[in-house]
Structure 1
Amino acid sequence: MWQAANLSDRRRGWPIRHWAWLVWTTLLVVLSPLGFHVAAAEAEDKVQPPLQLEAKIPLGDVRGRIDHMAIDLKRQRLFVAELENDSVGVVDLSNHRVIRTLTDLRQPQGIAYLATTDVWYVANAGDGSVHLFRGSDYSPIGQIDLGEDADNIRVNAAGTRVMVGHGNGSLAVLDPSSRVKVGDVPLKAHPEGFQIDDSSGRVVINLPDDHSIVVVDDASLKQVARWPTRDLAANFPMALDQDRRNVLVAFRRPARLGAFSMEDGSVVATTPICGDADDVFIDQKRRRAYVSCGEGFIDVLDIRSAAYPRVARIPTISGARTSLFVPALDLFLLAARTHAGQPAGVWIFRPVSE
C-alpha cells in the first residue's frame, strides 16, 4: 500500500520536477552566453592599458591647434608649439606647471633643443623663420629666415647639423655653431615628418603632396632614392624601427601604418590605425610603437611582430594628435587642445610593461 501510494505520489510530482528542470535548463542556455560576456568584460576591465594617464598639466588660455613638442632633459623643461596661439609654452615637468610663455611668434610648428649649445629652435609656419632661444633663460638669441612655412626640425646625433623642412619643397641645413643656413636640399613638395638615420648617413623624408617618401644622403645633400606610396596617401609622421631596419610611416588616407624597408623602400607590412595621425614613436624597451591621432586615440602597436599589429587603442580627446615619447623619463606626453569644455593641456602617460 505504501509503495503504491509512494509510486503514485512520484508520478503526480514528476511533471512539476520535469517543468522545473526544463525551466532551469533553458535559463542556463539563455543566460550562460550573457554570463560569459559579462565575465569577459570584467576580465578586460582588469587588464592594464599599456599607457596609464598620470596627470594633466593645464596650458592656460591656449586657443586652437597645438603642434609639436621637444624637451630639455637636464632641466626637465618641455617646449609646446601653440600654433594657433602664436606662442610656445614652457612647461616644468617636475612641478607640473607652465613657467613661461614665449610670444611674438608666427604659427610655431617644429621645435628642437640642442643640448651641446643649450639652444632651442622654433620653426614658424607663418613667416618661414626659425627663432633661437637660450636654454637657461629663454631669451631670444637669433633668427634664421627660410622663406615660408618652416615646419619639422631634426638634429643629428652628433649635434653638428640642424635640419628644417620648409617652403614648397626644401630641407634647410643649419650650422649650430655659426647659427646660419649652410645648405638647402631641393625637394618636389613640402616635407612633412622626416628622420635622420645616423647609422647609414641618410635622411628619410615624407612628401605627401608627391605621394612619396624620399631618401637624401646626409653628406652630399643629394636625393638618392624615391619610394612611391601608391594607394596610401597623406603620409605625415614617421619613425625608424632600427632593429628591423624599417621606416614606419603613418598615413591618413586611408588610416594605416606602413612599414618600408630602409634598404630599398619595399612595403614590408601595413596595418590599420586611428585617423588623423600626426606623431609616431618607438618604445624600444617594450618593443612598441605609439601613434597619436586627432580622431581622439593613441594606438599601441606590437613591433615584435613583422605585421605590426595593434594591441591597444587608448581614448584621448578630439584634436589631440601631437605627442612626444621621452625614453629617458619613460613618459609619453600628449598635447591636448581645448575641446568640449576641457582646457588645453599636456597629458602625461606612463608606459606599463606587460
Structure 2
Amino acid sequence: MLDGAPRLSRLVLNTANALLALAAVVSTSACGAAPTIVAPGDAASPLSLRRTIALPDVKGRIDHLAIDVEHQRLYVAEYGNGTVDEIDLKAGRVSGRIAGLKEPQGVGFLPKQQQIVVASGDGSVRFYAAADRREVARLQLGDDADNVRIDARNGHVLVGYGSGGIATIDPATHQLLSRLVLPGHPEGFRLIGSRAFVNVPDRGSVIVADVDQVRVLAKWSTGLNRLNFPLAVMPSGKDIAVVYRLPAKLSLMQADTGASLSSRATCGDADDLFLAGDTILVVCGAGQVNVVASGKDVRVATAPGARTGLFVPELKTLFVAAPSRVHPAAIWEFGLKGF
C-alpha cells in the first residue's frame, strides 16, 4: 500500500517515465531510423543561435511569449516565478517586470491599445499599459486561464480557461463578450476567420467551433494519439498541424473534415508549434526544436525543459524559452537559415 505523498509522487513519476519511454519507442519505430540531431552552431543546423538573453532571478517553468514588433519588446510568462518579464530586444536585456502573479501562462500584446494581456492559473485576465506596465483592467474567468489569441479580424482577445471554455473579450472596454463552452480544457488553438481549431487533450479530441456564433461545429477524435497540445494553421488555410506527446508525433489534417493527411515522429514534450512559410518548427521540452521542411527533417539541440517559444516572421527570428536547470534561465534567439 502507499505510504503518504512521497510514495504517491514516486508512483506518478514512475508512471510518467514509463509513458515517456513508450513514446520514445513508438516514435523511433514510426520513422524507422534515429533522427538527425545537431547543435545550434553546427553547419548542418537550419537554425543559427544569434545570442542568449538572461532572465535574472527566474526559477521554475516558463510558459508562453508575446511580441511588440514595433518597439521590439518581448514578453515572457514565467509560470513558476509568478512574473512576466519585458525584454528590450535592441538592448538584449530585461527592461521591466510584472510581479505578484499566480501562475502566469498566456500572454498577448495589443498594438492598437498598447497593452499587455496576461492570463493566469488563478483564472484572472489582466491588462497592463505597455508604457509603464501599470494594471488597467482585470477580469475573472473562473480558473486556469491559459492560452491567449488575438483575433486578426477585430482585435478581440480570446482566452482558453477552466474545465472547458474560450472567452472572447473586447480590448477597448475590457468587457466579456461571450463564453464558448467546450468538453474539456483547451490547450493550443488557432483561428481561420471565425472558425477556431482547439486541442482538447482531456477528451482526446480536436474541436472545431465558430467564435462568432459561439457554438461547437465538430469534434474530431485523436484516436490512439494522445496529449495534443500545440496546433497551427498551414499557410493555405486548408490544413492544420497538430503535435501529440504520446506518441511524439506531428500530424497534418484537413481543416474541413479532420481527415489525416500525413504524420511523422517528432521531438518529445512539445508545447509550441510555428510555421515559417512552408517550414514547420516544433519546440519541445526534450531540449530540441524539430525543423521540418521539404527534404529536411532536423532536430536542433536547445536546453532541457525549453518547450515554449515564439516565431516572429517580421524579425525572421525564433525565440525559445529555456528554464533554469542546467544553466540559468534565458531566452535563446535563433535565426532560420534561408528564411
Post-superposition CA distance 1:105-156 (Å, at most 9, x none) = 110000011111111100001x100111012221110111101000001011
Count of aligned pairs between the two proteins: 299
Letter in structure 1 aligned against 2:130? G
Aligned with 2:202: secondary structure?
helix
Whole-angstrom distance in 2 between the partners of 1:326 and 1:66? 18
The 1:183–1:295 alpha-carbon spacing in structure 2 relative to 1, beyond 3 Å, is: same
Aligned partner letter, 2:300: I
1:88 maps to which residue?
84
The amino acid across from 2:108 in the alignment is A
Q: 1:345 aligns with which of 308, 330, 336?
A: 330
Matches within 5 A, 1:119-138: 119-125=115-121, 127-138=122-133
Work out whether residues 192 and 237 of structure 2, in 8 Å CA contact, stay in contact via their aligned partners in 1.
no
What is the CA distance between 1:310 and its match in structure 2?
Answer: 5.4
The 2-side partners of 1:178 and 1:203 are apart by: 23
Corresponding residue number in structure 1 for 2:153: 158
Distance 2:218 2:139 in 1: 29
Q: Give the structure 2 partner of residue 296 of structure 1.
A: 287
Segments of structure 2 that go 5 or more residues without pairing to the other structure are 1-40
1:189 equivalent in structure 2: 184
Say yes or no: does 1:261 pair with 2:261. no
Q: How does 1:120-269 map to 2 (within 5 A)?
A: 120-125=116-121, 127-198=122-193, 201-243=194-236, 245-269=238-262
Question: Which residue of the partner structure matches residue 326 of structure 1?
Answer: 312
Residue 84 of structure 1: SS of its match in structure 2?
helix
Letter in 1 for 2:52: K
In structure 1, distance between residues paired with 2:305 and 2:221 = 29
Q: What is the identity, as a one-letter code, of the residue corresponding to 2:254?
A: S
> For 1:160 and 1:103, how far apart are their aligned partners in 2?
26
CA shift, 1:101, in A, is 1.3
Structure 2 distance, partners of 1:166, 1:145, is 10
Pick from 69, 73, 80 the counterpart of residue 73 of structure 1: 69
Amino acid at match of 2:126: H
Shift of 1:161: 1.3
The structure having more radius of gyration, on CA atoms, is 1
Is the Cα contact below 8 Å between 2:184 and 2:203 reproduced in 1?
yes
Runs of 4+ in 1 over 6 A off after TM superposition: none
Partner of 2:321: 335
Cα distance in 2 for residues equivalent to 1:192 and 1:133: 24
CA distance in 1, matches of 2:50, 2:211: 39
The corresponding residue for 2:56 is: 60
Provide the residue aligned with 2:297 in structure 1. Answer: 311
Amino acid in structure 1 at the alignment position of 2:85: G
* CA drift at 1:244: 6.3
1:104 is paired with a residue whose SS is coil
TM (norm. structure 2) is: 0.86
**Which residue number corresponds to residue 99 of structure 1?**
95
CA distance in 1, matches of 2:107, 2:74: 10
Shift of 1:47: 3.8
Contact preservation (8 Å) 1:114, 1:159: no
Contact 1:213–1:229, Cα closer than 8 Å, also in 2: yes
By percentage of residues, which structure has more helix? 1
Distance change >3 Å, CA 46–CA 162, structure 1 → 2: closer
